[in-house]
Each structure stands twice: as C-alpha cells, then as structure tokens.
Amino acid sequence: MQYIPPSNLRGHDVEPLLANRGLTADWFNTHDFDPHSAANVARHSYTEAAAKIPFHYRTAVSSLPQLRTWIDTLVADAKAVQTERGAPIASVNTGPSLLLLGSTGVGKTHEAYGAMRELAVTGVSARWAVTTAADLYAALRPRHGVDSEAEFARYRKAALLLVDDLGAERKPTEFTEEVNFRLINYRYEHHLPTLLTSNVEPKELAGRLGDRVTSRLAEMCERVAMKGNDRRRRAA
Ligand SMILES: Nc1ncnc2c1ncn2[C@@H]1O[C@H](COP(=O)(O)OP(=O)(O)O)[C@@H](O)[C@H]1O
Ligand SMILES: [Mg+2]
C-alpha cells in the first residue's frame, strides 16, 4: 500500500466522518511513514473513494442508522479476517448488502456517498466500484473494440459496489435483465458487499427486476425505506 502524506488531504471535509466514528483529525493525519498503519489505510481508502465521488456529493454525510450499522459490520468482519490471517492491513472483501429504497429526491444517493466516505476513514481498505444502473448498461452494450466482459468484471467482482438507481429505466429489456441477473447473482454467490439504491416501490420490485433478482436481493440485502419529499424541489 502506498504511503499517503497527510498534507495531500487538506481541504477535504472528513471531520464529520471521523467524529461519527469516534476518530480525530490528529489520528487521521498521523505522519509516521508507515504504509500499513490504520491512519494511512484510511487516507488511502479516502483518496481512492474521493476520486469516485461526484462533485455534488463530495461533502455528503450519511445519517441513516442502518448504514452506520452496515459499516460497523463490514469493518468488524474485515478486522476479524485480518487477525485470523495475520494480514498487514484489514480489507473489506465479503459482507452483507444494503438496498436503499425511496422516491426521487429523498436523499438516497447522498446517503450512499456519505456511507462510502465514512467507511473510507475507518482505517480498513475499502475498494469501491461505482455506477448508476443506466451507466452500467451503456458501458456494457456490445460494441466494436470494447471487451464488455472485462468491463463487466470490474463491477461484478469489485470488493464493494455501489449501484445507484437500479430499476429506474422506463422499459426493462432482455439485455438489462440479463445484466441485472448476472451482476446480482455473482455478488450474491460470493457474498460481495453491495450498496444499491432504487426508486421503485417495494411492491413493484419483483415486477421491475424479475423474481430471480428480487429473491436474491431479499436474502442478501437489508432493505431501508427512506421517506420524505423531493429535496431538490424544496431547494428550488
Ligand atoms: N441529508 C442531506 N443533507 C443535505 N442535503 C441533502 C441530504 N440528502 C440529500 N440532499 C440533497 O438533496 C438532493 C436530493 O438528494 P439525492 O441523494 O440526490 O436524492 P435521490 O438520490 O434519492 O434522488 C441533492 O441535491 C442532495 O445533495
Ligand atoms: Mg439518486
């Protein structure tokens, strides 16, 4: 693991995340040149996460207790495996998944990126792949000169995966259903922690995503329903 000097991260708003975890900025900025120290792993994970977080959500802080518990579980599992194997650092590799449900604008994406930021500062290595379902389908459309299976593997096999807006497309096609199934089935079989968001009503999930996908999601995910108004309209 690369050593990330503390000065590189000045200006990032990590203090509320650290506070949520009972950690301090002094700890986060420990300058000991040890690439395996938990503080360096935190800076490394945060730097990698920050590159994947859209500008709009760069200061997001999650407030859902279920996300906090999910992060606790991932961190505890990563540390348990580290101890068991005597590994130099703790890494998130397997664990439960979480499905955030709610209508447009309730704050699903904000919560998801808040969770990603918070997991990053805990001091375990957390390597995310991030996509919206729509971008994933677009990236995987068979086209000349692109190895879409290799592209798919980047998401399917990612240690942690955020799939934003699953089921949002107006008309599911055979292609999108196949992508959903292969993606969810792989992550289900390998216990790969996945954070999903969807604005589909819970009772319509099976209709939108198909029984095979919904059944796997039911087993692998904790479902969290978010209620509220569209925050975007309120802001406008
Ligand atoms: N807890 C929050 N605090 C401040 N702003 C928020 C919060 N949750 C969401 N927002 C803002 O409200 C808007 C809608 O949130 P977003 O997460 O994009 O909704 P969704 O993904 O559910 O459609 C965005 O501008 C987002 O930045
Ligand atoms: Mg969203």
Tell me the per-residue pLDDT of 117-142, one tens digit each, with 9 for 90 and over. Answer: 999 999 999 999 999 999 999 999 98
SS3 131: strand
Tell me the per-residue pLDDT of 179-209, one tens digit each, with 9 for 90 and over. Answer: 999 999 999 999 999 999 999 999 999 999 9
Q: Are strands 160-164 and 128-132 parallel, antiparallel or unpaired?
A: parallel
For ligand 1, atom 25: residue with the closest CA: 232
Mean pLDDT of the chain: 95
Residue 80 has a pLDDT of: 98
For ligand 1, atom 9: residue with the closest CA: 107
Cβ < 5 A residues, ion ligand 2: 109
Q: In what order do the strands lie in the sheet with 97-101?
A: 128-132, 160-164, 194-198, 97-101, 221-225
For the whole model, what pTM was predicted?
0.96
**What's the gap in Å between 112 CA and the centre of ligand 2?**
9
pLDDT-derived band at 111, boundaries 50, 70, 90: very high
Tell me the per-residue pLDDT of 68-109, one tens digit each, with 9 for 90 and over. Answer: 999 999 999 999 999 999 999 999 999 999 999 999 999 999
**What's the gap in Å between 175 CA and the centre of ligand 1?**
30
pLDDT-derived band at 236, boundaries 50, 70, 90: low
pLDDT-derived band at 234, boundaries 50, 70, 90: confident
Contact 89, 41 (CB under 8 A): yes
What integer is the mean pLDDT of 216-226?
Answer: 97
Q: What lines the ligand 1 site, CB under 6 Å?
A: 56, 63, 102, 104-110, 231-232
The contacts of residue 88 (CB under 8 Å, 6+ apart) are: 36
Q: By mean pLDDT, which of 115-124, 170-179, 220-229 is the weakest?
A: 170-179
Counting from 1 in the atom list of ligand 1, the atom nearest the Cα of 57 is 27
